[in-house]
Amino acid sequence: MIKSAFSFIFLIIYNVAFGSDTLIPIITAQNALILRIDQKKNLSTIYYGKKLANATEYVLIPQAYRQSIDYSEVANAAYTTSGSQNLLEPAITVTHADGNNSLNLRYVNHEQKKLENGATLLTILLKDPVYNFYVTLCYKSYFAQDVIEQWAIIKHTEKSNVLLQKFASANLHIKAKSFWLTQYHGDWAKEMQSETSKLTHGIKTLDSKLGTRANLFQPSVFMVSLERPATEDEGTVLYGSLEYSGNFKTDFELDNQNNLRIVSGINNYASTYTLKPDEEFTTPAFLHTLSTKGKGAASRNLQEWARNYKILNGNENRLTLLNNWEATYFDFNESKLKELIRDTRKLGVDLFLLDDGWFANKYPRNGDVAGLGDWAPNQKKLPNGIGTLVKEATDNKVKFGIWIEPEMVNPKSELYEQHPDWVVKQPNRPEHYFRNQLVLDLCNPQVQDFVFNTVHNLFINNGDIAYIKWDCNSVIYNAHSSYISNQSHFYIEYMKGLYKVLKRIREKHPKVPMMLCSGGGGRVDYGALQYFTEFWPSDNTDPLERIFMQWEYSYFYPAIATANHVTDWGKQPIKFKTDVAMMGKLGFDIVVKDLSKSDLLYCQSAIRHYNKFKDIVWFGTQYRLSNPTEADVASMAYINNTKTKGVIFNYLVNNRYGAGSIYPIRLKGLDRQKKYKITEICLYPETRSAIDEEKVYTGDFLMNIGFNPMINAQRSSVILSIEQI
Ligand code: DGJ
- Secondary structure, 3-state, 643-700: CCEEEEEEEECCCCCCCCCCCCECCCCCCCCCEEEEEEECCCCCCCCCCCCCCEEEHH
The helix/strand/coil state of 273 is: strand
Shortest-distance Cα residue to atom 10 of ligand 1: 356
Q: What is the DSSP string of 199-268?
A: --SEEEEEE---SSSTTSS--S-EEEEESS---SSSBEEEEEEE--SS-EEEEEEE-TTS-EEEEEEE--
**Percent of the chain at pLDDT exceeding 90:** 97
Mean pLDDT of 624-651: 98
Is residue 705 within 8 A of residue 664, CB to CB? The reply is yes
Q: How far is the CA of 448 from the centre of ligand 1 (A)?
A: 22
Q: How far lies 450's CA from each of 406, 436, 498, in Å?
A: 9, 21, 12
Quick one: pLDDT at residue 291? 98
Distance CA 716, CA 426 (A): 53
At position 288, the amino acid (one-letter code) is H
Task: Domain 5-310: give its CATH architecture.
Answer: Distorted Sandwich (2.70)
Quick one: pLDDT at residue 6? 36
Average pLDDT, the chain: 96
Backbone angles phi, psi at 120, to 5 degrees: -115, 130
Residue 216's closest CA among 194, 184, 238, 240?
184
Q: How far is the CA of 446 from the centre of ligand 1 (A)?
A: 26
Quick one: pLDDT at residue 269? 98
Q: Is 407 exposed, middle or buried (0-12, 13-18, 19+ CB in 10 A)?
A: buried
Residue 618's closest CA among 539, 667, 575, 564?
564
Residue 546's closest CA among 589, 523, 526, 576?
576
β-partners of residue 293 are 235
Distance CA 363, CA 271 (A): 36
Backbone angles phi, psi at 125, to 5 degrees: -90, 130
Q: How far is the CA of 627 from the centre of ligand 1 (A)?
A: 30
- 140-154: per-residue pLDDT in tens? 999 999 999 999 999
Q: How far is the CA of 519 from the centre of ligand 1 (A)?
A: 5
Instruction: Say yes or no to pLDDT of 8 above 70.
Output: no
Shortest-distance Cα residue to atom 2 of ligand 1: 519
Pairing of strands 321-323, 585-588: parallel
Distance CA 604, CA 184 (A): 36
Shortest-distance Cα residue to atom 9 of ligand 1: 519
Instruction: Say yes or no to pLDDT of 315 above 90.
Output: yes
Domain ranges of the chain: 5-310, 327-512, 535-618, 622-724
Shortest-distance Cα residue to atom 5 of ligand 1: 539
Distance CA 216, CA 191 (A): 8
* CA 512 to centroid of chain Cα atoms: 20
Q: How far is the CA of 356 from the centre of ligand 1 (A)?
A: 7
Q: Does domain 327-512 have CATH number 3.20.20.70?
A: yes
CA end-to-end span of the chain, whole Å?
A: 73
The dihedral built from the CA positions of residue 270, 520, 612 and 398, taken in this order, carries a sign that is positive
Distance CA 493, CA 441 (A): 9
Report the phi/psi class of residue 484: left, alpha or beta, with left for phi > 0 and alpha for psi in -120 to 50. Answer: beta
- 168-213: per-residue pLDDT in tens? 999 999 999 999 999 999 999 999 999 999 999 999 999 999 999 9
The minimum-distance atom of ligand 1 relative to the CA of 518 is 3
Residue 284's closest CA among 103, 120, 471, 528?
528
The dihedral built from the CA positions of residue 180, 182, 183 and 185, taken in this order, carries a sign that is positive
Mean pLDDT of 216-222: 98
Residues 324, 328, 331: CA angle, nearest 5 degrees: 130
Mean pLDDT of 600-605: 98
The dihedral built from the CA positions of residue 153, 158, 161 and 165, taken in this order, carries a sign that is negative
Distance CA 594, CA 84 (A): 70
Quick one: pLDDT at residue 463? 87
Distance CA 427, CA 468 (A): 34
Query: Which residue among 517, 540, 564 has the greatest number of ligand 1 atoms within 8 angstroms of its CB, and so is best to mutate?
Result: 517
Instruction: Say yes or no to pLDDT of 552 above 90.
Output: yes
Q: How far is the CA of 423 from the centre of ligand 1 (A)?
A: 21
Ligand 1, pocket residues at CB < 6 Å: 325, 355-356, 403, 471, 473, 517, 519-520, 536, 539
Residue ranges of the alpha helices (H) in 287-324? 294-305
Q: What is the DSSP letter of 411?
A: S
Instruction: Say yes or no to pLDDT of 24 above 70.
Output: yes
Is residue 324 within 8 A of residue 347, CB to CB? The reply is no
Is residue 559 within 8 A of residue 583, CB to CB? The reply is yes
The helix/strand/coil state of 192 is: coil
Quick one: pLDDT at residue 11? 32
Quick one: pLDDT at residue 392? 98
The minimum-distance atom of ligand 1 relative to the CA of 517 is 3
Mean pLDDT of 528-546: 98
**SS3 letters across 482-542:** CCCCCHHHHHHHHHHHHHHHHHHHHHHCCCCCEEECECCECCCCCCHHHCCCEECCCCCCC
Quick one: pLDDT at residue 17? 39
β-partners of residue 468 are 402, 514
Query: Which residue among 356, 359, 436, 589 has the greatest number of ligand 1 atoms within 8 angstroms of its CB, and so is best to mutate?
Result: 356
At position 137, the amino acid (one-letter code) is L
Pairing of strands 170-174, 222-226: unpaired
Question: If pLDDT is split at 50, 70 and 90, which confidence band does 31 have?
Answer: very high
CATH class, range 622-724 = mainly beta
How many residues are listed for the chain in this entry? Answer: 725
Quick one: pLDDT at residue 19? 55
Rg (CA), the chain: 27
The helix/strand/coil state of 398 is: coil
Distance CA 627, CA 548 (A): 9
Report the phi/psi class of residue 570: left, alpha or beta, with left for phi > 0 and alpha for psi in -120 to 50. Answer: left
Backbone angles phi, psi at 170, to 5 degrees: -155, 160
Q: How far lies 374's CA from each of 406, 407, 450, 451, in Å?
A: 10, 12, 11, 11
Threshold 0.75, pTM exceeds: yes
- 413-464: per-residue pLDDT in tens? 999 999 999 999 999 999 999 999 999 999 999 999 999 999 999 999 998 9
Helix axes 574-581, 597-619, angle to 10 degrees: 20
Residues 6+ apart with CB under 8 A from 600: 346, 347, 592
**Percent of the chain at pLDDT exceeding 70:** 97
Question: If pLDDT is split at 50, 70 and 90, which confidence band does 54 have?
Answer: very high
The minimum-distance atom of ligand 1 relative to the CA of 520 is 3
